[in-house]
Amino acid sequence: MKRFLLSLAVLAPMALLTACNDDDSSPQPTPPAPPAASYVRVVHASPDAPAVDVALDGTNVVTNASFKAATGFLQTTAGAHTVRVNAAGTTTTVLSASPTLAGGKYYTVFAANKLAALEPLVVEEEAAAPASGKIKLRVVHAAPSAPAVDVHVTAPAAALGTPTLSNVPFKGISAALEVDAGDYRVRVTPAGSTTVVYDSGKLSLAAGANLVAAAIDASTGNSPVSLLVLTRDIANPVFEVKDQRALVRAVHASPNAPSVDILVNNAVALSNVPFPVASAYLDPLAGTYNFKVNAAGTSTTVINADVPLEAGKKYSVVAANFLANIEPLVFDDTTAKPAAGKAKLRIAHLSPDAPNVDILANDAALVSNVPFKAKTDYLEVAAATYAIKVNVAGTSTTALSANLTLESGKIYSVYAVGSLAGSTLQLKVLNDN
């Protein structure tokens, strides 16, 4: 027994020494991999909600964020978390969400819907980047004022064709679309319709982009929606693509000119337009366009004008004056919607042989001493029926009168057109919305 214990005592130090000097031959335990992180961002997509503060697990991550603001992706742990949205600078919570986040995934939490029905809308995405030369795109319908829509993603010059996404309802979220990097155009129509209500114009999308494009309510411009594009770029996490169309109509206000054709960039847009007809609004993309007015069915051009059109604006191009002096007038029809119970009214003097005029509504002066070719600003008035009089300036001599019913929420242009001497003087009432 003594000999056995002695042997152990001698061998033990040797074994220890061998273990300490044999790093290559003894496998080391592999430490457990750290859990994959999760990523979350928050988007203010409620059009009538106030500015907000956003807290993640009780810590503010953004303060005083207004409609359309978005955080970049915030790194956090997998598991349950609390996102709280408060009215800015207060403890009044307008939205609370408790998403459970999976490791390695990206989450976008929209504060969606109108304030009275505010709710979280969560988009979950994989971390994987798009394949080489590709982009990934998800589309979200986050515009509470818009109906179900079709979404057309095409080459910039392509016709609409079959929708890329059909009948997308409010709060609808598409699967990820993976497409080649390049130039695209996004157009939105009401579901089942070919009437475009939003047009992005040309969008250049670089390879590797991982995007969420959300349709949100638009308060200005010619479309009910705008496009909020969310990226994974820390320096540029969000940008807005507003509707790129202008709206333009033609008005034949030359009292002795024949019917006309109207050409835009040498293509006939309207044919055989008589006095005093106004067209519906056309919706070209913003840019400078050549407008020609020809005698109907001929190549005889009486007006040739280049007209710059800005995105989000409305215009009227008016053929004014007698034929011998016919000229284009370009009116900017852009104005905000009237307040509840109100209408907006603008008046233009387009009778070439009428003197300066005063315009009265219910015998109260609206505007005075208006010369030929001049127009008023938009006037906001109570919705009602008005007795309109056009008087020779500074007198009680009425050259023209009519009853005019103005509806709540409507915007009107009233043109005094025709010839005084030719007894064709009349009021032309146009709806500008």
Q: What CATH number belongs to 128-244?
A: 2.60.40
Quote the tokens at residue 211: 């995007």
- The CATH number of 245-333 is 2.60.40
pLDDT of 11 reads 34
Same topology, domains 37-127 and 335-433? Answer is: yes
Output the pLDDT for position 196.
Answer: 97
* 156 three-state secondary structure: coil
At 36, is the pLDDT very low, low, confident or very high (cuts 50, 70, 90)?
A: confident
Portion of the chain with pLDDT greater than 70, in percent: 92
What sign does the dihedral 218-224-229-230 (CA atoms) show?
Answer: positive
Written out in words, the top-level CATH class of the domain with range 37-127 is mainly beta
User: How far is 159 from 375, CA to CA, in rounded Å?
Assistant: 38
Task: Specify the higher pLDDT residue, 126 or 19.
Answer: 126
- Residue 424 is predicted with a pLDDT of 93
What whole-number distance in Å separates Cα of residue 309 and Cα of residue 273? 22
CATH 1.10.1760, applies to 335-433:
no
pLDDT at 5 over 70: no
pLDDT at 29: 65
Instruction: Report pLDDT digits (tens) over 171-201.
Output: 999 999 999 999 999 999 999 999 999 999 9
pLDDT of residue 30: 63
- Confidence class of residue 4 from pLDDT cuts 50, 70 and 90? very low
* Lookup result for tokens 């407008």: 291
Write the DSSP symbol of residue 117: G
- To the nearest whole number, what is the mean pLDDT of the chain? 91
| Token representation of residue 47 | 């059009």
Q: d(Cα 74, Cα 146) in Å, to the nearest integer? A: 30
**242: helix, strand or coil:** coil
Q: What is the pTM of this model?
A: 0.85
N- to C-terminal Cα separation, the chain = 109
Residue 1's pLDDT band (cuts 50, 70, 90):
very low
The sign one gets for the Cα dihedral 173, 174, 179, 182 is: negative
153: enclosing H helix or E strand: strand 149-154
- Domain ranges (residues) in the chain: 37-127, 128-244, 245-333, 335-433
- Per-residue pLDDT band for 219 (boundaries 50, 70, 90) equals confident
Q: What's the whole-number mean pLDDT along residues 349-361?
A: 96
Residue 32 has pLDDT above 70, yes or no: no
- The pLDDT of 231-248, averaged and rounded, is 95
Rounded Cα–Cα distance for residues 366 and 382 (Å): 13
For residues 155 and 90, give the distance between their C-alpha atoms in angstroms, rounded to a whole number.
47
Has residue 23 got a pLDDT over 60? no
pLDDT for the residue numbered 8:
31
Average pLDDT, integer, range 221-243: 95
What value does the mean pLDDT take over residues 365-394?
Answer: 95
Average pLDDT over residues 235-256: 96
The pLDDT of 25-31, averaged and rounded, is 59
Average pLDDT over residues 130-136: 96
Residue 16: pLDDT over 60 = no
